[in-house]
Structure 1
Amino acid sequence: MRVSSILFVFIVETSVKAAKTATRASSFAGSTTAAIFPPVGADTAANSLFPNPSVVGYAGPTITGDEAAVLQTAPAAPFVDSVFPLVEPQPLEAAPTASFDILTHLGSLSPFRSLPPTTFGVINASAVVPDDCTLTQVHLLHRHGARYPTIGANEVAAAVHAAATSEEGFEATGPLKFLNTWTYKLGAEILTPFGRSQMFNLGMGFRVKYGELLKEATELPVFRTLSEGFNKFPLSY
């Protein structure tokens, strides 16, 4: 009986220690991870599956459609309300509600969306050009698309990693238990893939809305930028 009791205590103590070991933060918690492409060791030499552009073939000249003028001719203005392929974050405990969209409450970090024409109190406002008016020029002042944080903005990740690699270590529980194996996956400064798509789509949208202005232009459009962000705009304009 005593042997059984000792064995039982030993098993319980061992299980508790194992459980604590399993939930203790990993030494890599809070560390920064990044992708490298092409992967180290990947064969990037030319092969028959990827022939030189000169032998791919050329279909010959094709006709481009006429320039569009959506804001001058359409009955309604285009409305941006998609954040594809982003997925709206959900609360940890409370059930999601259709009346609250957290992506529209992130201040300067919220993805771009069109606002109703009457947002600023102008009654019967519309982005569509009135029938008795003609659009002659357009100016765009725009910041970059979604980008990674500024260098040095990962203080929280650095603190988590410092605690995880300290002699004492740490153990996160409850809603924060994900920190035990969490790593910081954000880059710095440059556009995110979603940010690049924002700028590309912005250029495409401007061409569709105002492209007809180019037919009467005597000078080429002026694109001026000091950032990587706006460089994606002309690619689709």
Structure 2
Amino acid sequence: MLVFCVIACLVGASLQTENNLDVPNPTSVPDYFQTTYGPFAGATKAGEAPFLAQTNPVLHEPTYVPNAPLVTTLSISGQPRGGNIFALMGTLSPYRANPDGFGVDEYALPPGANITQIHMVHRHGARYPTSGSATAEWAQKLIDSRKNRTVFSGDLAFLNSWDYKLGEAELTARGRQELFDSGVLHFFNYGKLYNAASKIIARTTTMVRMLQSAENFLIGFFGPAWTSNATLEVIVESDGFNNSLAGNKMCENANNDNGATGDEAMDAWRAVYLRNATERFRRQISGSSNLNWTVEDTYNAQTMCSYETVALGYSSFCMLFTWEEWEGFAYMTDLKLYGNYGMGSPVGRSIGLGFVEELIARLERHFPDPPEDSIAFNRTLDEQTSTFPLNQSIYFDFSHDNEMFSMLTALGLTQFGQFLPATHPSPKRALVGSHIVPFAARFVIEVIHAPRPIRATRTRNGRTLDSVYEDRGGETTYVHLLVNQRTVPLGRSIAACGRRDDGWCELGTFIQAQRYNIEKANYEASCFGNYSLPAYGEIRDGAFPRNGTL
């Protein structure tokens, strides 16, 4: 396996922005601390500005647009009381804390216990469709069909004058707000941990939406002068570059789709849950055009609802679908996460492995030292304290939804690894994409120091015990994992952590479990082994089998 240096271009060379303007690159600042858009920023395009005060047909008070402006309270056919389709949009859902939790009680810190360190990984905020996505191509297909005299009627009549107004790959205003608000929230939660006597290093990648997300979060946390408090390390995100925040780029079988077993399941499920909607829409299309409306067209129309809402505030596409069809849409994301980035993929653990290796190093305050066949991070950066500090009390990293789910997979969270059938949603599944990696998702690992061991059971007969501490034992340190502000019970996946009421895990036990998880990833064989795409369901543990056979 080749290990590439992070340096994107020679020091002193100029960087190219998306506007093709030369931006000086100061020779005194290494490239990985440059926050101007460079050659690995990716293609972006600004979308049209929203005009919600004029275009929103839902508002009952025509002169009033609420300060949380997204129109997400639409009445959908079959919608249960209290239901909201924007909780069913999987990884395209606007951020909200997981409303249901992860099946464990949640407790305040016991007296005398202290949070001493946090490790946060944050997804970018709501964005426009990425470069090369099917969304823009589909929009152009519709517009071109009108030139060929296609006429839409019924629920689709708005398409006769509809125009595509979305940009490309960068954050929407909603996305910027999500990250700013999150920065403010994390300051209230953890601001005391910051040591004002020194600057921290936060990490993101070169993609524009990743830079925008990190900067908006840091403004929320520290204020407009955040550069006095933090230095942003910008790691190249591109094929062939080692980057633990974008582990798919350094994993060959993730890049060539040999790990994407979920695609097969998604295709099968899409044909099932959108069959009726596709027939419904076909009856509303006429004219001399040879437009052949397919299930894929229906799926693109459904996807457009979320993209337009987070960009423009309202979308006419949202009400085209029933509640049951939105439930089907949510399940599409779950199949993708499970089959392409989770326990159903041979590279599910490997994509997120670099983060686990770095997490152990940070917890133990040394540079990462995994086995030679499991190096899933950038060695150039991770072997010097200027780019991989070991003494911070707060660590902020910014990544993507799929990669973050793989990080949770690499941490061995088998509770999200239940097999998902491609024929119908599993009703009691723990893997719900909108609960785990919506826009602006975040997970936080708290390190908690306690003066004595904390009882595994904090209540008896429904009442909290007078003392949650054991009678014997010395100082003990715990790990507490929160995903979107809700506790994930580590003992449900890591048996050694025990079945604790609070879902915590003793630090040493947690670290030892992660060392086993590094081995379970079978990194070299999973990422670089010569194998073909396994059938959906053949992989159940997030890695290519060590015996080399499926």
Structure possessing the higher relative contact order (Cα contacts under 8 Å, 6 or more residues apart) = 1
CA gap of 1:130–1:113, structure 2 versus 1, over 3 A, is: farther
Q: Deviations over 1:100-139 (max 9, x none)?
A: 21111110011222235x72222x323x333231011111
Deviation at 1:149, TM superposition (A): 0.5
Report the structure number with the largest CA radius of gyration: 1
Deviation at 1:91, TM superposition (A): 4.5
Q: Deviations over 1:126-158 (max 9, x none)?
A: 3x3332310111111011010000123322211
CA gap of 1:35–1:102, structure 2 versus 1, over 3 A, is: closer
Residue 188 of structure 2 is matched in structure 1 by 208
CA gap of 1:164–1:179, structure 2 versus 1, over 3 A, is: same
Is 1:182 matched with 2:162? yes
Residue 147 of structure 2 is matched in structure 1 by 165
How high is the sequence identity, in percent, across the aligned residues?
34
- Of the candidates 174, 190, 193, which is equivalent to residue 173 of structure 2? 193
Q: Tell me if structure 1 keeps the 8 A contact 2:48–2:167.
A: no
Residue 63 of structure 1 is matched in structure 2 by none
Q: Tell me if structure 1 keeps the 8 A contact 2:183–2:217.
A: yes
Deviation at 1:34, TM superposition (A): 4.5
Q: Tell me if structure 2 keeps the 8 A contact 1:147–1:191.
A: yes
Separation in structure 1 between the aligned mates of residue 200 and residue 69 of structure 2, nearest angstrom: 31
- Of the candidates 192, 201, 204, which is equivalent to residue 225 of structure 1? 204
Separation in structure 2 between the aligned mates of residue 219 and residue 163 of structure 1, nearest angstrom: 59
CA gap of 1:220–1:130, structure 2 versus 1, over 3 A, is: farther
Residue 90 of structure 1 is matched in structure 2 by 74
The one-letter code sitting in structure 2 at the alignment partner of 1:125 is E
Separation in structure 1 between the aligned mates of residue 197 and residue 70 of structure 2, nearest angstrom: 41
Separation in structure 1 between the aligned mates of residue 191 and residue 185 of structure 2, nearest angstrom: 9
Q: How many residues align?
A: 153
Separation in structure 2 between the aligned mates of residue 181 and residue 91 of structure 1, nearest angstrom: 24
Residue 138 of structure 1 is matched in structure 2 by 118
CA gap of 1:217–1:135, structure 2 versus 1, over 3 A, is: farther
Residue 310 of structure 2 is matched in structure 1 by none
Q: Tell me if structure 1 keeps the 8 A contact 2:48–2:166.
A: no
Q: Tell me if structure 2 keeps the 8 A contact 1:225–1:231.
A: no
Deviation at 1:220, TM superposition (A): 2.2
Deviation at 1:218, TM superposition (A): 5.2
Measured on the aligned residues, the alpha-carbon RMSD in Å equals 2.6
- Of the candidates 147, 155, 169, which is equivalent to residue 127 of structure 2? 147
SS at 1:137 equivalent: strand
- Of the candidates 147, 156, 173, which is equivalent to residue 138 of structure 2? 156
Q: Deviations over 1:45-88 (max 9, x none)?
A: xxxxxxxxxxxxxxxxxxxxxxxxxxxxxxxxxxxxxx922111
Q: TM-score, normalised by structure 1?
A: 0.57
The one-letter code sitting in structure 1 at the alignment partner of 2:214 is F
Unmatched tracts of structure 2, length 5 or more: 1-45, 50-66, 222-550
Is 1:125 matched with 2:106? yes
Separation in structure 1 between the aligned mates of residue 214 and residue 81 of structure 2, nearest angstrom: 34
The one-letter code sitting in structure 1 at the alignment partner of 2:220 is S
Separation in structure 1 between the aligned mates of residue 110 and residue 183 of structure 2, nearest angstrom: 24
CA gap of 1:99–1:35, structure 2 versus 1, over 3 A, is: closer
- Runs (4 or more) in structure 1 with deviation over 6 Å come to none
Separation in structure 1 between the aligned mates of residue 144 and residue 106 of structure 2, nearest angstrom: 54
Deviation at 1:89, TM superposition (A): 5.2
CA gap of 1:199–1:120, structure 2 versus 1, over 3 A, is: same
Deviation at 1:97, TM superposition (A): 4.3
Q: Tell me if structure 1 keeps the 8 A contact 2:47–2:168.
A: no
Higher strand content, 1 or 2? 2
Deviation at 1:195, TM superposition (A): 0.4
SS at 1:148 equivalent: coil
Q: TM-score, normalised by structure 2?
A: 0.26
Separation in structure 2 between the aligned mates of residue 176 and residue 157 of structure 1, nearest angstrom: 14
Separation in structure 2 between the aligned mates of residue 158 and residue 142 of structure 1, nearest angstrom: 33
CA gap of 1:89–1:160, structure 2 versus 1, over 3 A, is: farther
Deviation at 1:217, TM superposition (A): 5.8
Q: Tell me if structure 2 keeps the 8 A contact 1:200–1:236.
A: yes
Deviation at 1:172, TM superposition (A): 0.7
Q: Tell me if structure 1 keeps the 8 A contact 2:152–2:159.
A: yes
Separation in structure 2 between the aligned mates of residue 99 and residue 206 of structure 1, nearest angstrom: 29
Describe how 1:74-113 pairs up with structure 2 within 5 A. Answer: 84-88=68-72, 90-91=74-75, 94=77, 97-113=80-96
SS at 1:142 equivalent: strand
Q: Deviations over 1:185-208 (max 9, x none)?
A: 111100010000000011111111
Separation in structure 2 between the aligned mates of residue 97 and residue 198 of structure 1, nearest angstrom: 27
Residue 98 of structure 2 is matched in structure 1 by 115
